[in-house]
Structure 1
Amino acid sequence: MTDTQNNFDLDDVEAVSAQSVEPPRFAHDLEAIYDIPVTVSAVLGRANMQVSQLLRLGRGAVVELDRKVGDSIDILVNNRLIARGEVVMVDENRLGVTMTEIIKYGKVKN
């Protein structure tokens, strides 16, 4: 069969497909979620130990972490890794984190 026998052509199909695409969402569509609180954590490193080792820790004890000085740290939002970064001094008494890498995840399929 040809396009003329079906009484349509490919240009018509493409035009309908373009019209059926959902318009992009704009920033104002997201305003409802802007005030939802989230927990942001900057993880310097992790350590595994037995309870007996944990109970022996006292003031001044050093817990060795799985990272080295200068390694990137993990930045989590609600316990989900979203970025990596470096520790920086904000002022004399405060630390901050500079994001150096944003973690991209694939879209979740239903």
Structure 2
Amino acid sequence: MSSSPFPDTDLAGNDARVGDGRNLDSILRIPVLMQVVLGSATMPVADLMKLGRGAVVPLDHRVGEPVDVMVNGRVIARGEIVIVEEDNSRFGVSLTEVVGPSAADQNT
């Protein structure tokens, strides 16, 4: 019997260690927020307050530049915008590069 205050079993008495693969399905169902960032802009609040319907806000990315694919606030990939074949009224992102963890992320 383990003296740890965090036993390796779940409430039903099943082995709850992640490494054994039995609970991998539970982890794979955890929702994450995925965002595709087309670009960003910086402006004073006074200019922001003047924006109205039809206003155009120039972004820092140019047409043809890769967009950032973020998961929970971290860039995980880059890609290009594509039109979804099944439904021409929607667009998606085609991944062109998968970004590895940065040196700062590896130290945490």
Q: Distance in 2 between matches of 1:33 and 1:81?
A: 21
- 1:39-78 correspondence to structure 2 within 5 Å: 39-78=33-72
Higher helix fraction (1 or 2): 1
- For 1:87 and 1:26, the matched residues in 2 are separated by 39
- Asked if 1:94 corresponds to 2:90, the answer is yes
| Matched residue SS, 2:106 | coil
| Structure 2 CA distance for aligned equivalents of residues 27 and 83 of structure 1 | 26
Q: Percent identity?
A: 47
Give aligned pairs, total: 86
In the TM superposition, what is the alpha-carbon distance from 1:29 to its structure 2 partner? 5.6
Structure 1, gaps ≥5 residues long = 1-24
Gaps of 5+ in 2: 1-18
TM-score when scaled to structure 2?
A: 0.71
AA matched with 2:88: E
RMSD between superposed Cα atoms in Å? 1.9
Query: If you compute each CA radius of gyration, which structure gives the higher value, 1 or 2?
Result: 1
Give the drift of 1:30. 2.6
Task: Describe the shift of the 1:102–1:54 C-alpha distance in structure 2 as closer, same or farther (beyond 3 A).
Answer: same
Matched, 1:108 2:106: yes
List 4+ stretches of structure 1 deviating above 3 A. Answer: 25-29
SS at match of 1:58: coil
Distance 1:26 1:81 in 2: 29
Name the TM-score, length of structure 1 as normaliser: 0.70
